């Protein structure tokens, strides 16, 4: 990435995450184009984007499209679609990538960077993750409800590069809490350790994060699920330990009592979910490394059948 004052940015997926951060970047002066679809796209094109946030409401006029045809390569691509839409989104990347383009995925799960690199090459990829609660409230409107938001970015080889610093600078200029990590793979697994068990247990119980933490039996269920993930991480060469479980629980306690996970909201709305990138990934890696995951095996069976029903309903 060349050193410039303002970035040209494409956001693939203008939902809760992409809409919120893309909106902040546009408001902060960056040139942003959103790649979206459906009624949300129509509203972005005609009326612009509205963000209702605990940090303040704002609106921005937006450039939005459902195709990369006619678009020139950009400086930064944010990939923010749900993981079940990744295969649909990946073919959009080559047209957006010039020699110095950086692709940053803020998707859930631990393998997004690898999937992106298979399409555009490792030289274009930096790792990233976010902690935020946000969603599409209605077409053209993003609702961000968590009392904090945070992005962590890092080169996959641990270097601190000029392009990484520039991405951080642009994000911070837009009011986004952005941290550079030299151990981004570890950070991805730390988020996975937090997200996966809470997504599972809130979805099974149809309860908020606060309710799950408050009831001893479900709090214990989350902890047991985290213990299985630690064993999988160790098998992957990622040094998670008990202190990381405590940190993940503390992260959950920072969310509002009534907060719900995105997988829970999708399942409650009879939409497809990220079950395969979360619980399914734990099960698959357990089999790969011969690490028992009995709790995740059970949870996956219970939630996947519901996900299949929802997928059929949504066509």
Task: Render pLDDT for 6-61 as a digit per residue (tens, 0 to 9).
Answer: 799 999 999 999 999 999 999 999 999 999 999 999 999 999 999 999 999 999 99
Sheet with 58-60, edge to edge strand ranges: 58-60, 49-53, 141-144, 134-138
Give, for 179, the enclosing helix (H) or strand (E): strand 178-180
| Residue 121, pLDDT above cutoff 70 | yes
Tens of pLDDT along 215-271?
999 999 999 999 999 999 999 999 999 999 999 999 999 999 999 999 999 999 999
Return the pLDDT at 109. Answer: 96
pLDDT-based confidence at residue 1 (cuts at 50, 70, 90): low
Return the pLDDT at 314. Answer: 74
Query: What are the backbone dihedrals phi and psi of residue 206, each rounded to the nearest 5 degrees, phi first?
Result: 55, 45
**Residue 124, token pair as written in the block:** 């274009």
Round to whole Å and give the CA distance between 154 and 44. Answer: 31
Residue range 186-314 in CATH 2.40.50.140: no
Domain range summary for the chain, segments of one domain joined by +: 8-182, 186-314
Mean pLDDT to the nearest integer, 267-287: 97
Return the pLDDT at 315. Answer: 64
| Residue 139, pLDDT above cutoff 80 | yes
pLDDT-based confidence at residue 272 (cuts at 50, 70, 90): very high
| Residue 104, pLDDT above cutoff 80 | yes
pLDDT-based confidence at residue 137 (cuts at 50, 70, 90): very high
| Residue 74, pLDDT above cutoff 80 | yes
pLDDT-above-90 percentage for the chain: 97
Contact between residue 144 and residue 134 where contact means Cβ atoms under 8 Å apart:
yes
| Residue 185, pLDDT above cutoff 70 | yes
Give DSSP secondary structure letters for 85-119: GHHHHGGGHHHHEEEEEEEEE--SSS-HHHHHHHH
User: For the purposes of burial, counting CB atoms within 10 Å of the CB of 169, is it exposed (0-12), middle (13-18) or buried (19 or more)?
Assistant: middle
Looking at domain 8-182, its CATH superfamily turns out to be: NAD(P)-binding Rossmann-like Domain (3.40.50.720)
């Amino acid at each position: 990435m060349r050193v410039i004052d303002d970035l040209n940015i494409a956001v693939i997926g203008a939902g809760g995450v992409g809409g919120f951060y893309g909106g902040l970047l546009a408001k902060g002066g960056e040139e942003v184009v959103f790649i979206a679809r459906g009624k949300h796209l129509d509203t972005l094109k005609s009326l612009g984007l509205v963000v209702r946030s605990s940090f303040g409401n704002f609106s921005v006029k937006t450039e939005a499209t459902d195709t990369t045809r006619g678009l020139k390569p950009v400086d930064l691509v944010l990939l923010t679609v749900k993981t079940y839409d990744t295969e649909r989104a990946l073919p959009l990347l080559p047209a957006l990538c010039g020699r110095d383009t950086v692709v940053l995925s803020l998707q859930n799960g631990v393998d997004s960077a690898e999937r992106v690199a298979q399409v555009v090459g490792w030289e274009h990829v930096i790792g990233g993750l976010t902690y935020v609660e946000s969603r599409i409230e209605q077409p053209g409107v993003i609702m961000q409800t968590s009392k904090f938001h945070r992005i962590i970015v890092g080169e996959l080889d641990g270097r601190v590069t000029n392009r990484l610093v520039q991405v951080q600078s642009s994000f911070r200029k837009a009011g986004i809490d952005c941290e550079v990590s030299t151990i981004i793979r570890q950070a991805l697994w730390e988020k996975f350790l937090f997200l996966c068990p809470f997504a599972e247990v809130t979805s099974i119980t149809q309860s908020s994060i606060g309710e799950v933490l408050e009831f001893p039996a479900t709090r214990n269920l989350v902890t047991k699920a985290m213990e299985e993930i630690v064993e999988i991480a160790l098998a992957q060469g990622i040094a998670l330990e008990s202190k990381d479980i405590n940190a993940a629980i503390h992260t959950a306690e920072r969310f509002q009592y009534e907060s719900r996970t995105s997988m829970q909201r999708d399942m409650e709305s009879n939409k497809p979910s990220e079950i395969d990138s979360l619980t399914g990934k734990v099960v698959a890696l357990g089999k790969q490394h011969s690490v028992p995951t009995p709790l995740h095996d059970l949870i996956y069976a219970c939630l996947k059948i519901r996900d299949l029903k929802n997928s059929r309903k949504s066509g």
